[in-house]
Structure 1
Amino acid sequence: MLSGIPAPTRSLGLAGLIPFIGLAVLAIAGDEAIRAAALRAQIGYGAVIVSFLGALHWGIAVQTPALASWPRMAWGVTPSLLGWVALLLPPLPALVLLAAVLLAALVFDEFSFGGDDRRAWFLKLRRLLSIGAMLALLATLISIVVKGAV
């Protein structure tokens, strides 16, 4: 499943899921103080990660200036702005927003990199990491809704 993905990218990418999953576990199973701290930490980490996903497009434009189109550059800043908004929102809408941005970033990357065999490994990894992060955020969200407390 992860064949063809460079080892450093694969290892560091998968390690990037640890905070999403670990904080979801704490936000679901911890005592009240732990849950609250884990929730804020998960939202903060999600905001940082979506910013990173947008920045990838700026990095591509730096390497290949011909790819510095308005849509790519505009998208490159959008996740950062939405991640910042998530930091300002109450937890439930923040979790929804971050999951939606992760999904939108994946869709944008599918259109941006799809069909480029040199970057097929990247999309394979992006799908796995995005789905893992979204599931962790949604597990936290569901737990909050079910427990009725933030």
Structure 2
Amino acid sequence: MPYSPLLIKPFREELTSIGFVELCTADDVDRAMKDATTGTTLVVFNSVAGCAAGTARPGVRLALDGDAKRPDRLLTVFDEQDIEATAKMRSYFPDIPPSHPSIALFKDGELVYFIPRHRIEDRDAESFAADLRSVFNEFGQ
């Protein structure tokens, strides 16, 4: 069941304020992924989970502030909130079980890297950001 929009507004803004495009419907996801056939696209499955607040969102912010190659597109869906959009985004990699928060990196429309919740929780934002920078540098252009 979705949380109050007022409660999650700061969680959404933590990503949109740094350039993420929020995808709220299945059509939004299809349009965005149609544009993601060239270059790199970072997708963050946002969440109210504690590791989203303590590691995932802060780690993403730090990684993007660093000197790593930056993904061409930054997209986000909010798991357990924008249910239709989240399901549609997951349909782009159906063999990977749902996980939130989680992070997907696409290159030229193909999923090249996925970070599930269990690789985010119990970490600090700085070490998570360092891992993300490595991924950006490996797959960036």
Of structures 1 and 2, the larger Rg is shown by 1
Class of the TM-score when normalised by the shorter of the 2 chains: under 0.3
Greater helix share, 1 or 2? 1
Normalising by structure 1, report the TM-score.
Answer: 0.26
Higher RCO structure (Cα 8 Å, ≥6 apart): 2
TM-score, normalising length from structure 2? 0.27
- Considering fraction of residues, name the structure with more strand: 2
